[in-house]
Amino acid sequence: VSCPHLEIIFIKLNAAGYKKTSETTGYPPAPGAYNCIAWAANDSRQWWWPDSDSYWPAWSERKLNIGSFVKAFHRLGYRICGHSRVEFAFEKVALYTLNDEPKHMARQLRDGTWTSKCGGLEDINHFTLDAVESYGPHPEFAEYGAPELYMKRFIPVAWVVKLVQCIAWKIQEYRDR
Amino acid sequence: MLDVIVLSAVLSKPPIRGNTREETMVVCFDSSINEVVDKSDFSIASIRGSASMRNTIEKDLFTGPSAALYGDADIATAFRTLADEWSARTQHISSNKDLITDPNYRQIVKLGWSVVPLLLKDMRDNKRFWFPALYEITNVRPFDPSDAGNGKRMLEAWMKWGRLKGLI
């Protein structure tokens, strides 16, 4: 299924190849709104951003810089690595920046392709990392910048983290009732 | 001349007692209105108060449409147009900073307190991302900091605040 509206703002997307994998979710406070950072962290319940109106892990500062993002993902088991190639028993995320400012994150799938949540729009599975590379100008084109930093985590660690996340969400769901 | 008209329109509103940023600004501002309007030679430099206050007033008055330029019906129309355009062109953005620095979002914030009821109603009905705009205008965050990111609780807190203030 193609997304012509995405192909307009991401000029490389069509050439790189992609598949749509979800419907749009909108922004908070729309129920179930989540963004690319949340999606990279396997969370499809909250909108992650280091400011006072969004969820951000307690162990990382709410500052819009690369360090805050690295710290947020460090506690999820990720460590900085040097490249985006597939590595056995590891899963990876990539941080896109523009002028040193974090803009977007993508998560690597087992087959080496990448999955991204495009703001409040759809999730897509893009076949190359540079498919969503973009430099504006807004609003004609997106401004995700380019992949700047890669982090990886050992898959057994990922299982443990996902289990803990799942329990935390259940507790939150119970409290929200 | 335009600045005098705009300033007169802003100051024609009765002063409101309050402790949020804009309300405080109007109260402070009001003390110097007679002098400013009588002289008919208003300039930002003639405003009494701190330099930062003058800067804020100057920025709010002269860098975009303020609520003073619109009637109530116009504000609703302007808000709807700006909001719909903003939604259409920022849907792919994940960065909150990019969302709120979009020119349309800035214009909405500049509409000031008059747009707060519209923001609250739109957030309730259309679930659009007005949390930062509401904070910028009112300088309050009615939800517990630990609820940041919990859209449901944040929305409930803002709605409760809006009802208490008689805005919705």
ipTM: 0.88
Which residues face A148 on adjacent strands? none
> Tokens 């409760």 identify what position?
B160
pLDDT reading at B33 higher than 60: no
Q: Do B149 and A54 touch (CB under 8 A)?
A: yes
The residues on A that touch B, with CB distances below 8 Å, are 6, 9, 24, 26-31, 33, 35-37, 46-49, 51-56, 64, 101-104, 117-121, 138-139, 142-143, 172, 176
- Per-residue pLDDT reduced to its tens digit, B42-79: 444 444 444 554 454 444 444 445 555 566 678 999 99
pLDDT reading at B125 higher than 80: yes
For range A145-162, the mean pLDDT: 97
State how far residue A93 is from chain B, nearest Cα, in angstroms: 16
Q: Is the pTM of this model over 0.80?
A: no
Question: How many C-beta atoms lie closer than 10 Å to residue B94's C-beta?
Answer: 29
State how far residue B93 is from chain A, nearest Cα, in angstroms: 4
For range A57-86, the mean pLDDT: 96
pLDDT of res. A172: 85
Q: How confident is residue B157, by pLDDT bands cut at 50, 70 and 90?
A: very high
Question: In the structure encoding, which two tokens stand for residue A39, read together?
Answer: 């999606």
Q: Do A53 and B127 touch (CB under 8 A)?
A: no
Cis peptide bond upstream of A102, omega within 30: no
Question: How many C-beta atoms lie closer than 10 Å to residue B166's C-beta?
Answer: 7
pLDDT of res. B7: 46
> Tokens 């523009």 identify what position?
A98
- Per-residue pLDDT reduced to its tens digit, A107-136: 999 999 999 999 999 999 999 999 999 999
**HSE-up (13 A, CA, CB side) for residue A140:** 4
Q: Do A53 and B92 touch (CB under 8 A)?
A: no
Percent helix, strand and coil across chain B, each rounded to 5? Answer: 70, 0, 30
pLDDT of res. B71: 67
Q: Do A30 and B95 touch (CB under 8 A)?
A: no
B93 chain-A contacts, CB cut-off 8 A = 119-120, 142-143
Q: Do A33 and B151 touch (CB under 8 A)?
A: yes
Please state whether A77 falls in left (phi above 0), alpha (psi between -120 and 50) or beta. left
pLDDT reading at B40 higher than 80: no
Of B66, B63, B57, the residue nearest B36 (C-alpha)? B57
Of B73, B76, B94, B93, the residue nearest B84 (C-alpha)? B76
Between A154 and B52, the higher pLDDT residue: A154
CB pairs under 8 A between A and B: 102
pLDDT reading at B99 higher than 90: yes
Q: Quick one: closest CA in A to B95, which residue?
A: A103
CB B125 within 8 A of CB B161: no
pLDDT of res. A132: 96
| Greatest extent of chain B over all pairs of C-alpha atoms, in Å | 52
